[in-house]
């Protein structure tokens, strides 16, 4: 039996109202054919059933024909719909471009505003990308992890000692391999002069574990370090800059720190080691011969390693963490004297930048910075929305006409959105150009150090994608409200009323809401920036416990120039004598560390009381200093004395301790004369003085134990010279350099700067300084944009109230009356916005509390001063249109329209 066609359901017919329905059409066509034939046959005298049978027979296979034709139609319909949509898009695009080019000034302002907003976001995201997302260029980078230890001495994760590292290396079911590296400054002997370079001393397996890309030669291995080979792999930059890019350099010995080391390889361009801030010049295997290894294993307080590993495929970071913790517990039991309270930390390498020690606040910092920049973008979008709305008013009639002619509301909305999308994409292009410039500028932010800092902010696909998504979000944010608003134009009112009146008032209200919103958002940005600025101010004013003004510092390293201890002491003595004799120098001293510097030294100490609790002793930070150090740069001596010339190598060894150490180690006793033993040295130290507590490692630290030893009684070849000057410290730099050169031209001075510079632009305040700098510029931008928005709205409303104001003036309103009227309007909007902003800021600034230093996240001064600034600026933004309104000629105003 043939498949007899059925009539299609009724609803199908209605589909046609909005698009053709191929299935129903085919049925109708084929039915028509059959019906016509049946009718013919009936007229020829056939019975109804016979006629139907005959018609179907002549037709052939009805079902398969129907199916074939339907399929043809459906595929055709699909293709047609796509082409039609593309054509629509092309047409709309052309229309949008033409419409935009008709008001070039407005288009330019909008594109610039968006470029600024998007560009700011792209720039900051480039920074965040470099810190948090972009993987290192090594195979298996997604399985790369960094490790650190936390200990009672330091709560921030810090580097891992050799013995622990070797223990973790044994976890072969977790790590493919684990390796460690320590950065050292060394001298590179170029024959005529020596240069300071940065060489990483690594475990032998560094290259075989991390497999960074190589440009030339080979790498070293575990065997190299076991045989204590004197080899070096140099960076591409070092090779091209210092070795002239000569490929025959492989196999040639270089003199590094006075000893020959054979160049065996060159890393590929762009690989500078793992710390993204520091550019390493070379890598050498450390001595891991059996004897050296035994020493390394015994010295749990010795070299500490930046530790990196590659997880085995399929091992999660949580599994690795569990395994490493378990191993750490065993170490604690095995070596209670050194490992008590030591806990390992393991994180993806991307969470350990620039180094694991300081990486923990980075994600929060990124969130805060990006939130602030997004807020600036929101404010910028608000301006664009306002401009589009205002432009919509003038295009009102055009829209109304198009709507009357049958353009759907959807079509008009889409048209308007397309315009915004084009503006946003143009903005994104501008943003890319801006970001290119600003990331270059950012990469040059100075950190007060001679270390070869390097910041790669080159954009990658992530930055590109971020910019694009931001541009899309911008389109919706800035375009949707105006598009809907303009499309909803009721043709009749618009055409009859000539584009004013009711719709106009609704639009005014919408713009007012937008302005209130943008002032609220910029209030949040201003307050956040204010908190950063206050934090910076507090940090600068803080009493650190040591001298900070009129103090010059300079470092030198005698070991780089091949000095032995005797010669070094002679050099130091002579240097101090000559520097002290310089005019403008009040005092001078030497210290192995400066406060808040880049490296620290901790010594394991033992006292009678400590010995009872912890036979291994306790690690305490230490500084070894020359006579007159405390008078020159150090904290003041509270009791006892500081070191004198008489405390030399032959006299009994002495120490100065700080208040915390005195109180904790000898409670209720007089610490003067008490004995400290250093397990690493034979001599005992006798306490001769107590110094004030100070800040040593970081601004936020709570007072901690600290002690000083006499330089003459200990070996340290790389001290800082600290000089108190009567005038500006910088003025004395040439004289000090000359003294050093006269003594030995082969001893270069580095890190030469005033203590003020060291503190303000150094590591200690780097994050706060960036926060204050970024926050300040974001706030300025947000504020400016919001004020432009307010100004625009007030001017617009004044221009619409011309008649009303004219009447007021005509009946006797004075200039100040009119100004008051207009400014009141602007100020009211501003105050509502600021009020909302303050409430919101109160809720969100708490999130940045841990980034702030010495300032509460609800600092009353900031919360009063920030809004005040906004209010004042708002009055200023309203004054100009107010003035224009006040001085207008009422007669002309009334004649208008």
Which spans of this chain sit near another protein (rule: CB under 8 A)?
A: 25, 28-30, 32-33, 35-37, 58-62, 65, 68-69, 72-73, 76
Nearest approach, Cβ of 6 to another protein (angstroms)?
Answer: 17
If the CB atoms of residues 28 and 538 are measured against another protein, the closer one turns out to be 28
If the CB atoms of residues 57 and 612 are measured against another protein, the closer one turns out to be 57
In Å, the largest CA–CA distance within the chain is 141
DSSP 8-state code for residue 669: S
Distance of CA 179 to the CA centre of its chain: 27
Nearest approach, Cβ of 422 to another protein (angstroms)?
Answer: 33
Cα angle value 197/202/208 (rounded, 5°)? 120
**Could you tell me which residues come within 8 angstroms of residue 556 by beta carbon, excluding any fewer than 6 positions away?**
718, 719, 721, 740, 747, 748, 749, 750
Nearest approach, Cβ of 69 to another protein (angstroms)?
Answer: 5
Nearest approach, Cβ of 15 to another protein (angstroms)?
Answer: 15
Nearest approach, Cβ of 75 to another protein (angstroms)?
Answer: 9
If the CB atoms of residues 29 and 608 are measured against another protein, the closer one turns out to be 29
Nearest approach, Cβ of 86 to another protein (angstroms)?
Answer: 18
Nearest approach, Cβ of 47 to another protein (angstroms)?
Answer: 21
If the CB atoms of residues 35 and 326 are measured against another protein, the closer one turns out to be 35
If the CB atoms of residues 35 and 670 are measured against another protein, the closer one turns out to be 35
If the CB atoms of residues 68 and 88 are measured against another protein, the closer one turns out to be 68
Q: Which residues pair with 768 in a beta bridge?
A: none
If the CB atoms of residues 25 and 490 are measured against another protein, the closer one turns out to be 25
Rounded to the nearest 10 degrees, the angle between the axes of helix 815-844 and helix 860-886 is: 150
Nearest approach, Cβ of 405 to another protein (angstroms)?
Answer: 25
If the CB atoms of residues 16 and 641 are measured against another protein, the closer one turns out to be 16
Nearest approach, Cβ of 70 to another protein (angstroms)?
Answer: 9
**Could you tell me which residues come within 8 angstroms of residue 163 by beta carbon, excluding any fewer than 6 positions away?**
296, 297, 300, 331, 335
Cα angle value 285/286/292 (rounded, 5°)? 145
Nearest approach, Cβ of 27 to another protein (angstroms)?
Answer: 11
By DSSP bridging, strand 706-710 and strand 618-625 are parallel
Tokens at residue 431, please?
């943003």
If the CB atoms of residues 1 and 318 are measured against another protein, the closer one turns out to be 1
Q: Which residues pair with 691 in a beta bridge?
A: 637, 658
Q: Report how far residue 594's alpha carbon sits from residue 835's, in angstroms, rounded to the nearest whole number.
A: 46
Nearest approach, Cβ of 49 to another protein (angstroms)?
Answer: 19
Q: Which long-range contacts (CB under 8 A, 24 or more apart) does 663-668 make?
A: 664/705, 665/607, 665/609, 665/610, 665/705, 666/607, 666/609
**Could you tell me which residues come within 8 angstroms of residue 88 by beta carbon, excluding any fewer than 6 positions away?**
none
Nearest approach, Cβ of 18 to another protein (angstroms)?
Answer: 16
Helix or strand run (H / E) with residue 282: strand 282-285
If the CB atoms of residues 36 and 440 are measured against another protein, the closer one turns out to be 36
Nearest approach, Cβ of 51 to another protein (angstroms)?
Answer: 14
Closest CA to 790 of 443, 415, 517: 517
Nearest approach, Cβ of 85 to another protein (angstroms)?
Answer: 18
Q: DSSP string covering 59-93, please?
A: H--HHHHHHHHHHHHHHHHHHHHHHHHHHHHHHHH
Tokens at residue 296, please?
């390394």
Tokens at residue 428, please?
């994104």
Q: Report how far residue 642's alpha carbon sits from residue 765's, in angstroms, rounded to the nearest whole number.
A: 30
Q: Contact 201/261 with Cβ under 8 angstroms?
A: no
If the CB atoms of residues 35 and 549 are measured against another protein, the closer one turns out to be 35
Provide Rg for the chain, Cα atoms. 38
Q: How far is CA 752 from CA 454, 665, 758, in A?
A: 20, 37, 9
If the CB atoms of residues 75 and 799 are measured against another protein, the closer one turns out to be 75
Q: How far is CA 96 from CA 253, 413, 475, 551, in A?
A: 68, 12, 14, 64
If the CB atoms of residues 29 and 170 are measured against another protein, the closer one turns out to be 29
Q: Contact 508/818 with Cβ under 8 angstroms?
A: no
Tally: H helices and E strands in the chain: 29, 22
If the CB atoms of residues 42 and 497 are measured against another protein, the closer one turns out to be 42
In which residue are the tokens 């004598």 written? 577
In total, the chain counts a number of residues equal to 897
């Amino acid at each position: 039996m043939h498949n007899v066609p059925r009539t299609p359901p009724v609803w199908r017919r209605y589909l046609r109202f909005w698009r053709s329905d191929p299935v129903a059409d085919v049925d109708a066509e084929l039915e028509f054919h059959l019906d016509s034939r049946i009718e013919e046959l009936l007229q020829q005298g056939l019975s109804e059933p016979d006629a139907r049978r005959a018609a179907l027979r002549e037709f052939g296979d009805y079902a398969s024909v129907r199916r074939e034709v339907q399929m043809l139609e459906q595929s055709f319909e699909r293709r047609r719909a796509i082409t039609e949509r593309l054509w629509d898009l092309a047409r709309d695009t052309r229309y949008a471009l033409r419409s935009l080019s008709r008001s070039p000034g407005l288009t330019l302002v909008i594109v610039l505003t968006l470029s600024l907003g998007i560009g700011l976001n792209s720039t900051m995201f480039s920074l965040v990308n470099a810190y948090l997302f972009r993987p290192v260029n090594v195979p298996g980078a997604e399985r790369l992890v960094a490790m650190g230890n936390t200990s009672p001495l330091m709560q921030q994760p810090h580097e891992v000692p050799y013995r622990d590292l070797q223990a973790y290396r044994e976890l072969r079911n977790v790590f493919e391999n684990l390796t460690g590296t320590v950065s050292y400054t060394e001298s590179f002997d170029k024959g005529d002069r020596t240069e300071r370079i940065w060489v990483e001393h690594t475990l032998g397996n560094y290259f075989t574990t991390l497999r960074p890309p190589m440009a030339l030669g080979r790498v070293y291995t575990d065997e190299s370090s076991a045989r204590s080979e004197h080899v070096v792999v140099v960076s591409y930059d070092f090779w091209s800059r210092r070795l002239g890019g000569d490929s025959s350099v492989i196999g040639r010995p270089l003199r590094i720190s006075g000893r020959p080391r054979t160049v065996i390889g060159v890393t590929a361009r762009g690989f500078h080691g793992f710390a993204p801030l520091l550019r390493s010049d070379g890598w050498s295997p450390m001595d891991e011969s059996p004897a050296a290894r035994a020493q390394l294993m015994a010295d749990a307080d010795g070299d500490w390693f930046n530790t990196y590993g590659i997880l085995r495929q399929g091992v999660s970071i949580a599994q690795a963490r569990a395994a490493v913790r378990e191993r750490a517990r065993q170490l604690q039991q095995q070596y209670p004297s050194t490992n008590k309270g030591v806990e390992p930390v393991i994180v993806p390498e991307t969470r350990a930048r620039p180094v694991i020690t300081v990486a923990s606040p980075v994600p929060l910092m990124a969130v805060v910075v990006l939130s602030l920049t997004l807020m600036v973008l929101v404010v910028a979008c608000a301006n664009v929305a306002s401009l589009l709305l205002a432009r919509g008013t003038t295009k009102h009639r055009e829209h109304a006409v198009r709507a009357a002619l049958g353009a759907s509301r959807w079509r008009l909305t889409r048209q308007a959105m397309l315009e915004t999308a084009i503006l946003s994409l143009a903005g994104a292009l501008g943003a890319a150009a801006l970001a290119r410039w600003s990331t270059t500028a950012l990469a040059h932010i100075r950190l007060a150090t001679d270390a070869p800092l390097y910041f790669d902010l080159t954009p990658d696909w992530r930055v590109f994608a971020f910019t694009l998504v931001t541009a899309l979000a911008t389109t919706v944010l800035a375009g949707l409200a105006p598009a809907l608003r303009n499309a909803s134009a009721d043709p009749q009112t618009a055409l009859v009323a000539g584009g004013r009146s009711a719709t106009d008032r609704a639009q005014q209200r919408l713009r007012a809401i937008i302005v209130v919103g943008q002032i609220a958002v910029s209030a949040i940005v201003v307050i956040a920036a204010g908190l950063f600025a206050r934090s910076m101010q507090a940090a600068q004013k803080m009493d650190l416990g040591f001298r900070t003004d009129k103090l010059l510092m300079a470092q030198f390293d005698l070991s780089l120039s091949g000095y032995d201890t005797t010669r070094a002491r002679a050099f130091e003595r002579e240097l101090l004598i000559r520097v002290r004799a310089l005019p403008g120098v009040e005092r001078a001293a030497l210290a192995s560390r400066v406060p808040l510097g880049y490296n620290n030294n901790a010594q394991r100490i033992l006292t009678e009381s400590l010995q009872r609790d912890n036979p291994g002793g306790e690690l305490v930070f230490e500084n070894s200093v020359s006579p007159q150090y405390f008078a020159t740069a150090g904290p003041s001596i509270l009791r006892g004395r500081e070191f004198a010339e008489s405390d030399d190598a032959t006299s009994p060894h002495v120490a100065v301790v700080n208040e915390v150490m005195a109180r904790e180690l000898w409670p209720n006793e007089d610490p003067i004369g008490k004995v400290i033993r250093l397990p690493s040295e034979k001599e005992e130290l006798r306490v001769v003085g107590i110094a004030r507590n100070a800040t040593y490692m970081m601004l936020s630290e709570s007072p901690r134990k600290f002690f000083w030893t006499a330089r003459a009684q200990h070996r340290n070849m790389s001290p800082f010279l600290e000089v108190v000057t009567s005038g500006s410290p910088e003025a004395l730099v040439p004289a000090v350099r000359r003294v050093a050169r006269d003594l030995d031209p082969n001893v270069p001075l580095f890190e030469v700067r005033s203590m003020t510079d060291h503190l303000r632009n150094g590591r200690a305040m780097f994050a706060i300084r960036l926060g204050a700098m970024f926050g300040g510029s974001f706030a300025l931008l947000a504020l400016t944009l919001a004020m432009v928005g307010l100004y625009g709205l007030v001017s617009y409303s004044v221009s619409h109230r011309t008649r009303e104001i004219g009447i007021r003036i005509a009946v006797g309103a004075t200039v100040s009356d009119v100004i008051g009227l207009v400014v009141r309007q602007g100020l009211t909007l501003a105050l509502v916005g600021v009020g909302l902003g303050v409430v919101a800021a109160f809720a969100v600034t708490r999130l940045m509390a841990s980034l702030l230093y010495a300032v509460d996240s609800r600092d009353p001064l900031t919360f009063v001063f920030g809004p005040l600034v906004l209010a004042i600026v708002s009055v200023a933004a309203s004054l100009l249109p107010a003035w224009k309104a006040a001085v207008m000629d009422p007669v002309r105003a009334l004649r208008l329209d």
